[in-house]
A and B are shown apart, each in its own frame.
Chain A
Amino acid sequence: MTIKTLFPGRGRAGDPSEGDVRGQGQAGVGPSGTRRLGSRGTGDSRTNARDRAERRLAVRMTAPSLILMALVAAVPIGYALWLSLNQYSVRTAGLSRFVGLDNYINALTGPAWWAAFGQTFLFAALSVSLELVLGTAMAVLLNLAFKGRALLRTVVLLPYAIVTVVSAITWETMFQPNLGLVTNVLSALGLPGGDVVWLGEHGYAMAVIVLADVWKTTPFAALIILAGLQVIPRETYEAAELDGSSKWQTFVHITLPLLRPAIVLAAIFRTMDALRVFDLPFVLTRGANGTETMSMLAYTQLRENRLVGEGSALSILTFLTVMAVSIVYIRFAGGNIRDVAKGER
């Protein structure tokens, strides 16, 4: 069986590619394997040579990505560690002194870091739990066969694709006093909230930020969970039905447990994202009214207050916090991640 028979019409007639492939076949297994093959000609050593060639190729193919990622991820984080141990003069460029862990001690003993820490986790807990509940419901809907399912899928996907900054602006227009849809509807119905400056008070502002996040990212959770839903064999439901289980019972006792891996995966992705939240509060409140998150605090110290040492310490703290949470997740739901990593799905 040749490549040609496998791919009729894929290569042009007389395509040099086929000649290439065959030519190499005569010589052995490609440029790197050929030399070793010269001495031994048995089938065994041919496989070994191909193994070696394969391993060498694998290293060469992954190296560019790994080097780039190391250079642009690991090196800066290492440099941030160094920066965080120094204090830099705001007035004189280049003037700095080594202060050890002072920046960390100041951050960890002051109120700002812990406030941002608390707000970030509050935001993550609220938005991720809402997204998982709504996402599961959405996934169940999308898994039903009904007229209009394709339309529903397209519609829920729209918020996911738009720029986060735009989603923030969209919800800003919804909640603006006087000109917002929600505020107008609330006051027309005489409900509380119509005359509230939503982005001007802590609880309300956080609600808008959470809503904007839920709106944009629930589709992501829903699609992950939907993929999990679609691999549950139909027979499972039929068996439950024959046993006289109600639809709700079937969902709670059969579907949900089988969906657990998918839900956990969605939770991991969403939590990691939520803990890094930056765009939404940046546009909606600029961190005012107690909505400053960890990433925002580090950004503000660095860019707006020009405190390079302090900002770097805060960014390292943010990094450590997110890493710690991801380690907890991997411990808690380890099998999942390891399977994904190993590709044993």
Chain B
Amino acid sequence: MSTVTTHNKGQRPTTPVASRRRPTREGFPTVSPKKRRLRGEARLHPLVWVFVIAVMAFSLVPFYWLINTSLKKGASLGRGELFPSQPTLENYFSVFSNAEFLLALRNSAIIAVVTTVVALVFASFAAYALARLKMRRKALILALILSVTTFPAIAIAAPMFSIWREIGLYDTLLGLIIPKLTFALPLAIYTLTSFFREIPRELEESAYMDGASPFQAFRKVILPLAVPGLATTAILVFISVWNEFLLAVTLTTSPAARPVPVAIAFFNGTSEFDQPLGTISAASVIITVPLVILVLVCQKRIVSGMTAGAVKG
């Protein structure tokens, strides 16, 4: 019963962090408190700090430079100043007055939201069956689903290009949502399966005792508990769909259906003489802001989802 109540809040058990679960050392004669402190929270070797700072710089400096570039125009852009001497928001204004970019934002939002919702509905059924129900050839089915994640998108995109042109789905939002769903589903099923597995079986057992059918146990008992897992999966699927490029570039040709990554990539080639890097950088910053906020707010979820089922003990 005690395990049940700890899981009751729907939180996944976190892997114990080494420092928090330090065994008592009565039996060990040699380790001094000072040494313990050195190994523990407080101090790191100076070289380790250098490394920490290097890692942070490597992660952050490119962002700084992207923002820096987006704030410069004309000669200031060409000089490559470390700090923009005449910072300007002109690039941002020109991005927001670009109808094609705004259309692309709308397209991306529709595609990502619809794909995420549909994938979550389909995947939560499949994942529950794979995690919990008795089923024949379960390992084979899961392996098949996983193998789809290794398919190169070009192998789907190439024939889809021909099929969609035949049946009129080429260059439409629906024509992008369908193949993106195929790649979103395995990701969602895989992540959700490992979330469902962590919900204690006793809960279903007692639901069965009360006479629930397996589907009722799923819908009334497990699904409400899996909300955190569903949210995590939704974030991961959303990010991957929002980022996807190959299908998007192969299956669209006009701004009407182009999502953001493709629109930005084609900003590049429009003019040979102008230096459009300032505008492109501004557009990049604009579409990065929501993702940065997502990371800041949902960091723990993203991490737990990414490593779900990977190496848990």
Which residues of A are interface residues toward B (Cβ below 8 A)? 1-3, 6-7, 10, 17, 20-33, 50-51, 53-55, 57-59, 61-62, 64-66, 68-69, 72-73, 76-77, 79-80, 83, 137-138, 141, 143-148, 152-167, 169-174, 176, 178-181, 183-184, 215, 220, 223-224, 226-228, 230-231, 234-235, 238, 242, 261-262, 265, 272, 275-276, 278-279, 282-283, 286, 294-295, 298-299, 302-303, 308, 311-312, 314-316, 318-319, 322-323, 326, 337-338, 340-343, 345
Contacts and interface: CB of A to CB of B under 8 A. Distances in A.
Contact of B79 (A3, A32, A154, A178): A178
Q: Which 4 A-B pairs have the closest CB atoms?
A: A25-B211, A30-B213, A145-B19, A319-B155
Contacts of A261: 311
B123 to A, nearest CB: 6
B48 interface: yes
A7 B154 contact: no
B242 A55 contact: no
B256 to A, nearest CB: 17
B210 A169 contact: no
Given A61-B133, A145-B41, A178-B80, A72 B126 contact: no
B268 A180 contact: no
Given A224-B310, A242-B30, A302-B158, A73 B23 contact: no
12 contacts: A7-B224, A57-B215, A72-B156, A72-B182, A137-B51, A141-B48, A164-B243, A170-B66, A178-B78, A215-B58, A242-B28, A295-B152
A138 B55 CA distance: 8
Contacts of A28: 211
A2 B284 contact: no
B158 A227 contact: no
A109 to B, nearest CB: 21
Given A57-B129, A79-B163, A319 B151 contact: yes
Contacts of B155: 76-77, 80, 315-316, 318-319
B88 interface: no
B69 A156 contact: no
A142 B76 CA distance: 39
B181 A29 contact: no
B258 to A, nearest CB: 12
B208 interface: yes
A144 B38 CA distance: 11
B143 interface: yes
B59 A68 contact: no
Given A22-B210, A76-B156, A278-B246, A164 B261 contact: yes
A130 to B, nearest CB: 12
Contact of A161 (B138, B143, B216, B291): B291
Given A20-B216, A159-B59, A162-B288, A58 B135 contact: yes
A276 B63 CA distance: 25
Contact of A183 (B62, B80, B143, B288): B80
Contacts of B287: 163, 166
Interface of B: 4, 8, 15-19, 21-23, 28, 30, 40-44, 48, 51-52, 55-56, 58-63, 65-66, 68-69, 72, 77-80, 82, 122-123, 125-126, 128-131, 133-136, 138-139, 141-163, 178-179, 181-182, 185-186, 189, 193-194, 197, 203, 206-216, 220-221, 224, 239, 242-243, 245-246, 249-250, 260-262, 264-265, 268-269, 275, 277, 280-281, 284, 287-288, 291-292, 294-296, 299, 302-303, 306-307, 309-313
A141 B51 CA distance: 9
Contacts of A231: 15, 311-313
Contacts of A169: 66, 264, 280-281, 284
For A30, A76, A164, A231, the residue with the greatest tally of chain B CB atoms inside 10 Å of its CB is A76
Contacts of B77: 179
Contact of B306 (A1, A224, A312): A224
A33 B215 CA distance: 12
Contacts of A53: 213-214
Given A57-B133, A224-B310, A302-B161, A147 B214 contact: no
A148 B52 contact: yes
Contact of A180 (B21, B59, B80, B163): B80
Given A176-B277, A230-B17, A276-B153, A24 B41 contact: no
A53 B217 CA distance: 13
B215 A152 contact: no
Contact of A315 (B44, B154, B181, B269): B154
A173 B69 contact: yes
Nearest to A231: B313
Nearest to B21: A234
Given A27-B211, A283-B268, 18 more contacts: A21-B207, A21-B211, A22-B210, A30-B214, A51-B134, A62-B135, A72-B156, A77-B155, A146-B42, A158-B60, A161-B302, A180-B80, A265-B310, A299-B246, A302-B158, A318-B155, A319-B154, A345-B313
A142 to B, nearest CB: 9
Contact of B133 (A54, A73, A326): A54
A166 B264 contact: yes
Given A54-B214, A64-B122, A223 B303 contact: yes
A143 B311 CA distance: 15
B83 to A, nearest CB: 12
Contacts of A31: 213
Contact of B159 (A83, A146, A184): A83
Given A72-B156, A138-B55, A163 B80 contact: no
Nearest to A296: B154
A166 B214 contact: no
